Every structure is written in structure tokens, then in C-alpha cells.
Amino acid sequence: MVKVEQQSVLDRSEILKLYTKGCTNDFKISMEYERLPISSTSYKAVEYWGGCGIRDFLERFAGEFDWKYIVDQNNIIGLAKDHDTITLEPGSQFEISTKPERTIFQLKEKIDSINTALQSVMDPDTVLLNYGVSPYSTYKSIHLIPKRRYKIMANYLWGILSDVMMRETAGIQCCIDFRSEEDAMRKYKLANKLSPFMTAMFANSPIRGGVDTGYKTFRGLSWINTDNDRCGFYGKISEEFSFDDYIDCIMKTPIIFIHRDGNPIEINGNITFEEFMTDGYEGLYPTIEDYELQANLCFPEVRMRNFIEMRNHDCVGGDLKYSILAIYKGIMYDNQAMSECEELFKHLQYKDFSELRYNVPKHGLQAKIKKVEIKDYAKEIISIARKSLKEAQTGEEMFLSPIMELTSRGICPADIIQKKWNGIWNKDLRKLIKHLTTMS
């Protein structure tokens, strides 16, 4: 007999507040920075368990630097200190997430500090690789970490490359603020339009399983083949869009699971959140926490929260990762720069951006939109951001130098790797790892 759990009905106005509470005039920027732990001698992915495993590392690091454990059923799945976290993705990928800062310089200082601490405790054979996909181990040999939600997700996600996405890939996400719903929607729509161009500029995952896949970003390909219900563009980059429209997208997505009393209850897509709101599920009715979980289990190119999260970039190394932040900050925090980007894209339709999203993983900056290679768009995007940052007089335009050097040649990081892999490296994985390590 199913126990009926009495709960107050979730009101849509309560959901709306999750977004409107983000309105601010104090604009900051933040990043989520994922990397792949691999063995520098075997090139295999480093596992969670074992004497040199990630779990033992987290214990050592927490003890050495006074970070607190994040646990799931007594299994360590991450660490936290103040507003900063080090968490694990499904295949033990490391993610550093820091509190938002006003300048990229401040973010870089914090990331550098955490990285220095990580390296001081890390097993000498382990390298945190700045790369978008596991270069040697594939998902079949990479075990999920003991986090219950990941097992449920792995069983549910139906795309042919969902296991690759979960266990093999690493990316960089950028988060920005908005001052009002109108400002949020303008930035949200522009960020979606920028997303395939940004994916192309920072494509950095051509070698997977020890072979050249023929793709510039195999990570990007994996996201296209993960779950079309919860990935891609939300809202079709409509000219008329609102917080309510975004909420509708979340509502119409099938539910994977909910939590009650700290335990997951699997729903496995049997109902959408909209149906959960209307009819409940086996005597249960939604809470605001259910909606927040549902929203977190949707993975659009650009995700709306009480900030805007751009999610579509391969992990890259060195100061190139800060080029991602500099482009978004230069464009999104300057009205003139946003207008110039909107003008750049005004002749393009939703279908053009959607088609480009599917072409970029294979072709990178050589992909075409309306028969024009997008490397020319990339140069203009960077130019707009650079002008804006220079006018702001913060000095942050310096972080655009690494991506300017590449796009001026019409290439992305993957182009360099593929040329050397099939040339002077002679398909030697050791040389790829050395290259990626020096780019850290």
C-alpha cells in the first residue's frame, strides 16, 4: 500500500522567485572548471577507489587544507571551504567552483591557489588534464563514483553517447549576472546564439580512446547524443521569451527522480514536471526542492538560474580558459557590445544556429553558416569583446590574447592537436599527454 504524503501544492509564483531573486546591479562573473584525472604513465583514467585513487586524495587534501567533506551515504563525493567547492563528476572528473568575483584576475588568483594546493597533495603519477574527453580510457572501463544520482542518471539517459558525456568528458562553464528579467532574457538569447561559435573556438577533444575521432570536439558530439529532451536550445532562441517561458521548458521535461527524506525515488521519465504539478505521483506532490532538482537535471546549452550559466566549452588549459570568461564579460556586461553582437547575428534564424550546433563538433571553426566559415564570426566576436574590455579599463582584455592568437589563424586547439597527432607525433599518446600537460 502506497503511503500518501501530505504536502502543500507548489505554487508557480514560488518557482518564479528562484529566478527573479538573481536580479542585481552588482555584476560578477564565475566559472566551473572540470579536468580529467589520468595516470601520467599508463594514460588511463584514475579511478575513485584504490590506494592512489581519488577518494584517498580527497581525504588527504581535506586534512591538509581544512576543507569539509561533501558526502553521499558516507562516501566522499567532494569538498567545500567557504564559498569554494571541489566536486566530482560521474567518472571522477574534478570540478573546481569558486564564488563569483568582479574581475577575472580575482578568479585566476583563486584558481591558481587551489591548483597549487591540489598539486602539493596529488599522487605524483596523477595529472589533472586540461582536455575535453578522456584520451585513452573509454566509459566501458571508467566506473561511476558512488553517488546515487549518477547511477540513476546513467540508467535513464537514452542518448547513444550519454555514457561518454558522463564518464569521459570535462568542460568549462561561465556564469554571469543580470539586472532584470528583460536584461536576463536579452543575455540568455544572445548567449544561446553565441554558444556554437564558442564551442568551435574552444574545441579541444579530437583524440579519444587513443585514436583521432575525426571530430574537433568529441565532447560536443556527446552532448548532442545524450538526451534531446533536456539538452540543446531551450526556447528556440525566441524573440519573445521570459522566465515563465523558461520554466515551461523545465515543466515539460520528463522527471528522472525526486528526493524524499534524503533518498531518491526513481520516476524514470514516466511523467513530466507539469504532470507532477497537476496530478502528483503515487501520493506525492512537488516541493520547491523538487523543481530545483528538476532544473539541475536539465542540461541546455545555456541554463537559467538566479544567474545565467553557459555550459558548452571543452576544458582548455593555461590562460586560454580565461579567454572564455573574457569574451562573455566583454560582451554581456556592455550594452553597446551586446548590440553589436545582436547586429552580427540579425540575419540568422533559429535553424541556422541549430544546424551549426550539429556541424561544429566535426568541423570546428571550419563549420559554415549560410556558406560562410564561422572563423570570420569568431574574429568579430572577439573584437567586440576586446573593445568593450579596453573601454572598461580593467586590463582584462589581456585574457583574450590566447584565443586571438588562435582565431587569427582560423584554428582551434583541436586543429593543433590533430595536425601534430597525424604528423610529428606519429599518433603517440605520450606526446599528446605531454602537450596537454605543458598547456596546463
Largest CA distance in the chain: 68
Helix (H, G, I), strand (E, B), or coil: what is residue 229? coil
Q: What's the confidence (pLDDT) of residue 95?
A: 98
| Predicted pLDDT of residue 239 | 75
Would you state the cell numbers that stand for residue 58, as one nine-digit string? 580527497
- The reported pLDDT for the residue numbered 237 is 77
Q: What is the DSSP letter of 315?
A: -
**pLDDT (0 to 100) of residue 8:** 56
pLDDT at 279 (0 to 100)? 95
pLDDT in tens, the chain (440 residues): 344 444 557 999 999 999 999 999 999 999 999 999 999 999 999 999 988 899 999 999 999 999 999 999 999 999 999 999 999 999 999 999 999 999 999 999 999 999 999 999 999 999 999 999 999 999 999 999 999 999 999 999 999 999 999 999 999 999 999 999 999 999 999 999 999 999 999 999 999 999 999 999 999 999 999 999 999 999 877 778 999 999 999 999 999 999 999 999 999 999 999 999 999 999 999 999 999 999 999 999 999 999 999 999 999 999 999 999 999 999 999 999 999 999 999 999 999 999 999 999 999 999 999 989 999 999 999 999 999 999 999 999 999 999 999 999 999 999 999 999 999 999 999 999 999 998 77
156 closest CA partner among 253, 252, 89: 253
What global pTM score does this model have? 0.96
19: enclosing H helix or E strand: helix 12-20
Q: How far apart are CA 103 and CA 101, in angstroms?
A: 6
> CB-hemisphere CA count at 13 Å for 56?
10
Q: What is the DSSP string of 341-376?
A: HHHHHTT--HHHHHHHHHHHHHHGGG-EETTEETHH
Task: Compute the distance between CA of residue 142 and CA of residue 245 in angstroms, rounded to an integer.
Answer: 38
Sign of CA dihedral 300, 301, 304, 309: positive
Q: What is the CATH number of domain 12-438?
A: 3.30.590.20
Backbone angles phi, psi at 102, to 5 degrees: -80, -25
C-alpha cell at 372: 560562410
Q: What is the SS3 assignment for 238-298? A: CCCCCHHHHHHHHHCCECCEEEECCEEEECCCCCEHHHHHHHCECCECCCHHHHHHHHHCC
Q: What is the dihedral of CA 376, 382, 385, 389, to 10 degrees?
A: -150
Buried b (16+ CB within 10 A) or exposed e, 268-300: ebebbbeebbeebbeebbbbeebbebbbebbbb
Using an 8 Å Cβ cutoff, are 86 and 94 in contact? Answer: yes
Write down the domain spans for the chain.
12-438
